[in-house]
Structures are given as structure tokens and as C-alpha cells.
A and B are shown apart, each in its own frame.
Chain A
Amino acid sequence: MLNFNSPIKSEKNYDDLKIIEIEPTIKINLRGNKRQFSTKIGKILSILPPNEANTSSGNEKFNLLWLSPDEWLIYSNDKNISLEDQLNLEESLFNEISKLNQGAVTNVSDHWIMINLKGNKIYDLLSKSCPYNFNDFKKKNGSVAQTIVNHIDTILHNKGDNNINIFVRRSFSEDFWRWLNDSAKYV
């Protein structure tokens, strides 16, 4: 997260559709399946990792997304969280989980780029090149989906009211950004 430099530098507005990159955001990947693992995360973040597939949990500070039966992703709601707080969070998770062999903690802040989509047309836009069925996803706040959009791996998180966060790998982010803006002209 030091010297953060994103290939995307703009914010785009279309009819009923707004696309903006939200960075820098801290993101931490968690892997584990031991019983103490969940309790430890609950203690540190005051959020328990969801066991139900395609869901998330969260509070005003952090979101915890289900990625797989033994994998979760933490990300912050706050762009301006200080570097010191970020390092402290990572360190406490690492010391309590990785060091005690109860799971794995990896800082993936610079691996994923978070893009926010807002507006009534977001699902029309995504459906232009995504095989995922958004019917249930739309209805439920906090639902999570990992799928492909325009052949690019993405994680989608529904924040409710036609507002979703999309995670895309940094190396694909520029391509993805261009595709989003190109397709937005035709929805």
C-alpha cells in the first residue's frame, strides 16, 4: 500500500450509471478451517466469517466476504484508514492466526483493485458479458459472487440499492475498466 499507483485515474458518469475506482483499500485474504480460526477473527474484527456460501458479514468498518468453504476476504469501507492501523490489523491477524498455524493471513491490498458501480443499469451492464444469474444476488444485501465478467475473474459484492463493489486483479484492471466504459455506452 506504499506508493500506491493505479492505472485507473478517472470517474465516469453515464445515464443511471456511475463507475469509480475506490483505492487505496486494505484487503486481507484469510484461509483456515479450524474452529479457533473463526473465534480469533471474531475477536480481532468483531465480525464472524460467514459459513453460508455467497454471503458476507460486516460492520461499519469492515466487510468479510465468503470466497470458499475455507477462504474469506476482508476489505475496509474506509479509504482513509491510516497506514499504521492497516499494519496493526494485518499484524494482529498474522500473529494470532498464521504464527499459531491456525490458518493463513495474506495482505492482498495491491493484488485486487476495487471498482464501485452505482445506478439502475449496473446489472444490464454486467450481463453484457457475464454468465452469472443475478436474480438472487440483486435481492439480497451483502451477497457475494465470484464469476467472470468479459472473461476476467471478478468478485462481486452487493452493497444494496444498486450499488456493488467489484474486485478485479490489478493486471486486468485497466482492460476491465476500458470494457466497462465501452459497454456502458450501449446500455
Chain B
Amino acid sequence: MFLINCPYCGERDQSEFSCGGEAHIERPKQPTELSDDQWAEYLFMRKNIKGIQFERWNHIHGCRKWFNIVRDTSNDKIHAVYKMGERPPVK
């Protein structure tokens, strides 16, 4: 269990949130021109890093807004929280 600082509501328990997986994955501009392998790469393949990871989270039991988090997956330490559409802080 850890606390997350929602950019809208403030600090709340992790159980109020749901994780939406890796952040900043861009949808290919011309999906029809991709091979099945390339499409599968975009759709399913994730980095699953042990260490600093950029993630999307949703405050699902609170304000229901999406935002981004920079989290160390090895110890759940949160290094940064920033809103959707904002540029990720440099590593």
C-alpha cells in the first residue's frame, strides 16, 4: 500500500486508484499500413521495467480523472505526478 498525490484531490490511498499501464504509447498514424507483428507490438507489448516507469493512473473512486505517474516499480516510490497532456519530467 502506498499514497498517491492526485493532481486534483490531493493525497489519497492507493486503493482509491486504478493503474492504466504504461504511459506515452503513441497510436500508429496509419494502422492499415502496419504488419500484424507491428500492430501486435503496439497493442500488447509493454516494457514492464524493474525501476523507474512512466504510468497512467485513474482516480477511479475519487474525481475519476486520468493522470501520469513516474514510479519506481521496485519500491513503489513515486518520483513525479503530472496531468494528462503535460510533458513528462526529464529522467
B8 adjacent to A53 (CB under 8 Å):
yes
In Å, the complex CA distance between A148 and B60 comes to 10
- Chain A residue with minimal CB distance to B63? A68
Residue B9 lies at the interface, judged by CB distance under 8 Å to chain A: yes
How far is the CB of A68 from the nearest CB of chain B, in Å?
4
A68 proximity list for chain B (CB < 8 A) = 8, 63-65
Residue A69 lies at the interface, judged by CB distance under 8 Å to chain B: yes
- For window 55-91 of B, CB contacts with A under 8 Å fall at 61-65
Residue B24 lies at the interface, judged by CB distance under 8 Å to chain A: no
Residue A147 lies at the interface, judged by CB distance under 8 Å to chain B: yes
B61 proximity list for chain A (CB < 8 A) = 146-148, 153
A131 adjacent to B63 (CB under 8 Å):
no
In Å, the complex CA distance between A133 and B13 comes to 9
In Å, the complex CA distance between A28 and B21 comes to 33
- Chain A residue with minimal CB distance to B14? A131
B16 adjacent to A148 (CB under 8 Å):
yes
B62 proximity list for chain A (CB < 8 A) = 146-147
B15 adjacent to A146 (CB under 8 Å):
no
Interface size on A, residues (CB 8 A): 13
Interface residues on chain B, size class: 10 to 19
- For window 1-53 of B, CB contacts with A under 8 Å fall at 8-13, 15-16
In Å, the complex CA distance between A137 and B62 comes to 15
A26 proximity list for chain B (CB < 8 A) = none
A146 proximity list for chain B (CB < 8 A) = 9, 61-63
In Å, the complex CA distance between A101 and B6 comes to 29
In Å, the complex CA distance between A174 and B12 comes to 26
Interface string of A127-152 (1 = CB under 8 A from B): 00001110000000000001110000
How far is the CB of A170 from the nearest CB of chain B, in Å?
17
Residue in contact with A132 in the complex, picked from B8, B13, B64, CB distance below 8 Å: B13
Q: A131-B12, A146-B63, A147-B62 are in contact. List 18 more A-B contacts (CB 8 A).
A: A53-B8, A53-B9, A53-B10, A53-B63, A54-B9, A54-B10, A67-B63, A68-B63, A69-B65, A71-B63, A132-B12, A133-B11, A146-B62, A147-B12, A147-B16, A147-B61, A148-B16, A148-B61
> Can you report 22 A-B residue pairs in the complex whose CB atoms are below 8 A from each other?
A53-B63, A54-B9, A67-B63, A68-B8, A68-B63, A68-B64, A69-B8, A69-B63, A69-B65, A71-B63, A131-B12, A131-B13, A131-B16, A132-B12, A132-B13, A146-B62, A146-B63, A147-B12, A147-B62, A148-B15, A148-B16, A153-B61
